[in-house]
Amino acid sequence: VITVLCGGVGAARLLSLLQREATDFEFTAVVNVADDLVLHGLTICPDLDTVTYTLAKINNEVMGWGLVDETWRVNKELDKLGGQAWFQLGDRDLATHLYRTQRLAEGATKTEVAGELAAQHQVGLPILPVSDDHIATYLETDLGELSFQEYFVKHRHGVPVSKITFRGAEVATPTKEVLTALSTSEHIIIAPSNPLLSIAPILAVPGITDLLKARRQSIAAISPLIGGRALKGPADHLMSELGFESSSYGVAAYYGDLVGHWFIDEVDSDQVVRIEGLGATVTVLPTIMAEPTSASALAQGILSWLN
Ligand code: FO1
């Protein structure tokens, strides 16, 4: 059994690749919830939904979030009314948020709802929010403090950031399902998700980092940066803005003694010695999952580490 720490699209692609190529293993996804928001009274969990939709093969590949064959009639009406249409909720996607919000109002936990949605979509692995408690990312920027989705969507992650906080994380508890997964799985993989925005809020939940540090040798991570650049999203410039080197080495140094093995892209082969200097072993291979040959090379590399 392998547990994967997940943000959104990068993690979702990794999970579906592993589910396809590493059929001798069982996977559990532990997912960030600090991007979650309440809008129009609806609880929206973007990373949980991206992982669920991708594993169910109903994700929108072009956008990287939301559902395939989506229509936008509700959002267009909302825009005409002068409502909060900047965060676009598709007509099909809305059903998920309505369902989740109703179930939470009935007293279900986020974990239970994630399990119900995964079952309804016939996803073959557990998708676990890291915590059932409220955790929310806020960013100090040149425009003042912004909530995560204001920064990410409204301002297209284009405003310089000086500080990130995960409100509520310090008093949150990991769920028992997450603690069981992290302590009983043979290996843990940190997906190539944004270290500062997607993985950090998972690590900020008390208990998680200590648990990982105690088992460094069984933890691998895939660098989200290739040649110092993120394939998608703001990971590269955020690293620089917050004083870290924007490179695979910079990400490895940021995770420090949490990670025992690194998978980095071929273009970063010159960084192997520096990463080894942090006490980790390194595999160099193609890491771009959108390209089939490169994806299968990555899967083979991960499989040889698992075996
Ligand atoms: N991302 C956008 O860039 N624009 C949107 O309007 C938007 C809406 C949206 C609705 C539901 C959902 O689950 C995700 C959505 N996303 C949107 C993606 C999301 O903001 C980010 O990709 C994640 O939070 C980062 O992992």
Contacts of 221 by beta carbon, 8 Å cutoff, 6+ apart:
189, 190, 192, 251, 252, 255, 258, 259, 261, 262, 263
Whose CA is closest to 46, among 32, 60, 61? 32
Cα(34) to centroid(ligand 1), Å? 13
- The pLDDT assigned to 143 comes to 97
pLDDT, residue 304, reads 95
Which of 61, 76, 153, 238 to mutate for ligand 1's pocket (most ligand atoms within 8 Å of CB)? 153
pLDDT tens digit sequence for 141-173: 999 999 999 999 999 999 999 999 999 999 999
Total residue count of the chain as it appears in this document: 307
Q: What is the pLDDT of residue 291?
A: 87
The C-alpha atoms of residue 25 and residue 21 are separated, in whole angstroms, by 9
Within 6 Å (CB) of ligand 1, which residues are found? Answer: 7-8, 35, 44, 46-47, 49, 65-66, 87-89, 93, 149, 152-153
Record the pTM: 0.98
Task: Kindly report, residue by residue over 28-75, the tens digit of the pLDDT.
Answer: 999 999 999 999 999 999 999 999 999 999 999 999 999 999 999 999
Q: How many helices (H) and strands (E) does the chain have?
A: 13, 14
With tokens 């909060």, the residue in question is: 84
CA–CA distance, 221 with 305 (Å, rounded to integer) = 11
Measured between alpha carbons, how far is 286 from 21 in angstroms, rounded to an integer? 16
Q: Which residue ranges in the chain fall short of pLDDT 70? A: none
Predicted pLDDT at 44: 98
